[in-house]
Structure 1
Amino acid sequence: MPLGFVATYTVIIGPSEAWDLLVRPRIGELLLNTATLVVGCTALCLVIGVGAAWVVERTDVPWRPLWHGLLVAPLAIPAFVNSYSWSSLSASVHGFRGALLVVTLSYYPLVYLPVVATLRGLDPALEETAFSLEHSRWRTFLRVVVPQLRPALLGGGLLVSLHLLAEFGALQMLQFPTFTTAIYDQYRSSFNGAAANMIAGVLVLCCVLLLTLELRLRGRRQYARVSHGAARPAERQRLGAWRWPVLAAVAGLVVLAVGVPTYSLVHWLRVGSSTAFPVSDLVQAAGTSLGLGAAGAAATVLMALPVSWLAVRYRTATSTFVERSTYIANALPGIVVALALVTVSIRVVQPLYQTYLLLVVAYAIMFLPRAVVSVRSALEQAPLVLDDVAHSLGAGPLEVARRVTLPIIAPGIGAGAALVFLAVSTELTATLMLAPIDAATLSTQFWSASSSVAYGAAAPYALLMVVISVPATILLGREATRRDAGGRIAA
């Protein structure tokens, strides 16, 4: 619906008006800002993610489990809460440099996690062979290890890039205009649908370009280990004299990514002139967030079940197309989805405008890929032969699904629901545009207070969002490093 809406609206306004809207200097400025931020942040996240993963997985740095948990911890802090923490302490983070710093600290775990998982599953025999041929450690890393990290690097880099294209709250707070902030400003200030939708069209093209580039760079190479036997972990490298400088670098990264936001929240809770704990408002906002999270998770998982079932149990070109089409939502920022649903609901189904039902539909569109990935991974672990045995005993299709398949895939369903719940409970952009007027969530209440420079009043809502995010972050940290019995990484 969102993709068709953007394309249809572009055709309706006509080529002449569309061209006039596209060639404005403002579009060029937004394109430069967006492209510069995406390239710079993605490059930094790749460097930081690979470096941190290598230190944790391949060196003898002390307290490795502790550092792994702390390096994953930024995922529990929404990017707009992180930007609030930095900008409330110093206005120097406003602009490009500040935005680059804050979003990098928020998104580097998206590269760190898949790289850690890949490093943990690599066969060390390849590196040992390179050493026997008198290759240096640096040359071995570049020519042996990095090529095997290619899927993790491309996947993590793509996630970072797509998140940056969709990011609104953090960049708005840091006063760095991009396509997403411009769409929101156009909609809120002048209700200029033509200008906003043309900007959305350019943003969609950027998303498609990133997806195509990642697919081309990935190629058709296979990276799976085909040997039999138990996995053998790689020998950890001794840091020697570099131990303390490396330890200081990792600690510095944790302080910037986790320490500063934590300090800022505690600071404003203690000394903020607007600091207050309106228990009724906090409970109401938390209740609304939890309710929307539960409804969004349930609706999204129900939509993901038939898609995953078709993709695994009935592998045809049609089922593959259906399954892949769900990932288009992952390439569309929330503001584009919300803008499409606003227009469609007003013009076609006006009673749905500003209702919780429309908001849940938006959540399902945006976060369906998260549920599909989890449910499909679980379904692939359910042997089809068990279904055949149940059928041979006279059980019907529904009974087989209820008594055989569903118990096996229940953990995957639960994981998918948890991930969607986390995303919904901290979602900002679509909630701001689609929620009913009297609705208040933790994210919208936080945004209202922080936009009014009431940092103390915003701190309790931010703290509650972080608390809600912690369980899913722990789940991500554990799942990313899980290996099967053969030592292979589950994609």
Structure 2
Amino acid sequence: MPAIVAALVPVAYLAWRTGQAGGSAIAEQLGRPRLIEATGRTLMLAGTVTAACLVIGIATAFLVSRTDLRLRAAVNLSASLPLAVPTYVAAFSWRAAFPGAEGFWISALVLTVSSFPYVHLPVAAALSRSDPALEEQSRSLGEGPWRTFFKVTLRQVAPAAVAGALLCALYVFSDFGAVSILNYRTFTQEIYVAWRLGFDHTGALVLASALVLLTLIVLAGEWAAAAPGRRARRESASSRAPVRLPLGRGRPLVYLGLAVLAVLSLGVPGWSLARWTLDGVSTADPAEVWGATWTSLYLSGAAAILTVALVVPVGLYVARRRGPLAAATERIVYVGYALPGVVIGLSLVFMAINVDWVRERFYQTAPLLVFGYAVLLLPLGMGAVKASAAQASPQLGQVAASLGAGPVRRFATITLPLTAPGIAAGAALVFLTAMKELPATLLLRPSGTETLATRLWTYTDVAAFSAAAPYAALIVVVSAVPIWLLSRRIGRQGP
């Protein structure tokens, strides 16, 4: 299938090029202090952010799903909306609000308040579907709320929490924009510097390969953690609302904590963007803003069309087949999404430079950038198509076949109409995510091509915050709509 080829090409080419460097060159690069330091810095940041996201995500999900917290829908929305703010936009906001903010702790803070929804959303969904009877039985046997939480509730949502935490770690591994703006050198920044500034191609290849190995280890953990969660969701589903625990005297402290979290995750970015956008609108060049917006729109639209064309056959196959081959096919498609954009971009750049027919046709062209987007975002399209196809009864196709309809006619008259909502949802997700992609765009864009993300990056790099703010605000506005819809859907789940 073309989607499998697209997902594997960058990784396979990166492995081949790294192997071509030779054992001695690889060993020399592996022994350099920068690799060891980059590994240590990346792991320390990922560990800190993941632990903080676990605590915050589980706490907010529990408050929304199991307590008598007032304004639960508003709290759930405020705990979901940080996903609408790309980490590089959040980092820009903090850097613009506090010019001296840089280094490890501010990077950890920004990534934590941007990433904790990856834990909050799946845990809130798991709590809404879990049976509250076990918790009620525990309390009826004399166990207090805290012992019940740790002994019963936490075990029920552990697979969802672990999967969300591993996604947070994966996100930290792949982040490039935030750590670059906040001046904290991790793997992704070291790769970019080695390629763009140091012209150290072998070093960039080895660093990228090492990051791939780290990322695949985390991805394997995510798959292992997600499987029990899927089984648990099939085995139990709540049929009634839980008895909500009273917050009592702790209510003021809970609201204070939620207010602080909202200020850190949404208040600072919102205030900073509003302040600098008001300054920047009067001086911004409308033609430049419109040009970047139009470029982002047509590149993201092309990425959505290509991605959907690639994933529809795979999504239909995975939804209607069981067994090792279907499972392996699904995992392969997810490889590109698990890898950092800087790694995918670097691999495609190397391929465009060194493979003659690719260089002649695609080097420094928009199609190569669109292909890079598709590789990164294949799972977003496939997940939606697969979910929609799984809900469509295969018996309709069998009946049509018995009446003499051929494969093409069955697809056009039955399969396509039934899966159209999933295809549209997948295309929308790909479109919106491609609008925000930064590292792959920086590496693969044709000369002179500017998107909203690259304009923001360029102006932030020279501390021109008022000029960068309109681009950041446009990105956030575009990203907020699907996150709002997602939070409403999660909020409605339950009995």
Q: TM-score, normalised by structure 2?
A: 0.94
CA distance in 2, matches of 1:470, 1:432: 23
Which of 187, 193, 208 aligns to 1:200? It is 208
Matched, 1:437 2:444: no
- Matching residue of 1:143: 151
CA distance in 2, matches of 1:203, 1:428: 18
Matched, 1:224 2:233: yes
Task: State the AA in 1 paired with 2:433.
Answer: A
- Matching residue of 2:329: 322
- Matching residue of 1:182: 190
- Matching residue of 1:44: 52
Which of 167, 170, 193 aligns to 1:159? It is 167
- Matching residue of 1:478: 488
CA distance in 1, matches of 2:127, 2:252: 23
- Matching residue of 1:454: 464
Could you report, residue by residue, the CA deviation over 1:376-429 in whole angstroms, capped at 9, with x for unpaired residues?
111111111121222233322222222222222222112111111111011110
- Preserved CA contact (<8 Å) 2:65 2:127: yes
- Matching residue of 1:353: 363
CA distance in 2, matches of 1:373, 1:54: 27
CA distance in 1, matches of 2:481, 2:220: 34
Could you report, residue by residue, the CA deviation over 1:272-326 in whole angstroms, capped at 9, with x for unpaired residues?
6x96231111111111111111111111111111111111223343333222111
CA distance in 1, matches of 2:236, 2:49: 37
What is the percent sequence identity of the aligned residues? 40
- Matching residue of 2:408: 398
Matched, 1:105 2:126: no
1:247 CA displacement: 1.0
Q: Greater shift after overlay, 2-11 or 32-41?
A: 2-11
- Preserved CA contact (<8 Å) 2:80 2:483: yes
**Cα separation, partners in 2 of 1:397 and 1:479, compared to 1, 3 Å:** farther
Q: Greater shift after overlay, 288-297 or 169-178?
A: 288-297
CA distance in 1, matches of 2:255, 2:335: 40
CA distance in 2, matches of 1:111, 1:174: 24
Which of 405, 410, 414 aligns to 2:424? It is 414
- Matching residue of 1:342: 349
Unaligned runs of 5+ in 2: 1-8
For residues 9-158 of structure 1, the aligned pairs below 5 Å read: 9-158=17-166
- Preserved CA contact (<8 Å) 2:344 2:376: yes
- Preserved CA contact (<8 Å) 2:73 2:491: no
- Matching residue of 1:385: 395
**Cα separation, partners in 2 of 1:280 and 1:379, compared to 1, 3 Å:** same
CA distance in 1, matches of 2:328, 2:223: 16
How many residue pairs were aligned? 483
- Preserved CA contact (<8 Å) 2:167 2:222: no
- Preserved CA contact (<8 Å) 2:57 2:116: yes
Q: Greater shift after overlay, 405-414 or 194-203?
A: 405-414
**Cα separation, partners in 2 of 1:9 and 1:151, compared to 1, 3 Å:** same
1:259 CA displacement: 0.6
- Matching residue of 2:6: none
1:227 CA displacement: 6.6
Any idea what SS the aligned residue of 1:224 has?
helix
- Preserved CA contact (<8 Å) 1:268 1:275: no
**Cα separation, partners in 2 of 1:314 and 1:239, compared to 1, 3 Å:** closer
- Matching residue of 1:267: 275
- Preserved CA contact (<8 Å) 1:275 1:457: no
Unaligned runs of 5+ in 1: none
Calculate the aligned-residue CA RMSD, in Å: 1.8
CA distance in 1, matches of 2:423, 2:488: 17
1:190 CA displacement: 2.4
- Matching residue of 2:5: none
Any idea what SS the aligned residue of 2:322 has?
coil
Task: State the AA in 1 paired with 2:297.
Answer: L
Task: State the AA in 1 paired with 2:152.
Answer: V
CA distance in 2, matches of 1:405, 1:424: 27
CA distance in 1, matches of 2:153, 2:440: 40
- Preserved CA contact (<8 Å) 1:92 1:98: no
Task: State the AA in 1 paired with 2:19.
Answer: V
Q: TM-score, normalised by structure 1?
A: 0.94
For residues 294-333 of structure 1, the aligned pairs below 5 Å read: 294-333=301-340
